[in-house]
Amino acid sequence: MLVDTARYTEKEIDSLDDLLQLRKSVGIKYFKKWQSLEEKKNKLIDQDFNKSWEINPEHYGLKIDDLRDNKILSKYLMLPKVRHIYSSH
């Protein structure tokens, strides 16, 4: 009985190691994609407001000047198709 327990425990630990490696791998990929998205947003912020931001200010009750003046808000709202994928919220 004790030998069987030891055998199963070893298999469970191997499975746990595999899961932790998978989690680490996914976390690293997520972080790299998130960094890439942030870099893209920073480059777009350096440009003036344009269609590549994919923001309709009127949809949010804002004016273009509001987005120009508030870079944090602009970065949060821009690229809506991908922002929800890599959002921490």
Confidence at residue 6, expressed as pLDDT on a 0 to 100 scale: 63
Closest CA to 60 of 76, 48, 71: 76
Give residue-wise pLDDT tens across range 7-54.
767 767 778 888 999 999 999 999 999 899 999 999 999 988 888 898
Q: Where are the domains of the chain?
A: 2-83
Residue 88 has pLDDT above 80, yes or no: no
How many CA within 13 A on the CB side of residue 34? 13
Predicted confidence at residue 16, as pLDDT, reads 84
| Entry pTM | 0.67
Amino acid 81: pLDDT: 83
The pLDDT, as a whole number, for residue 70 is 92
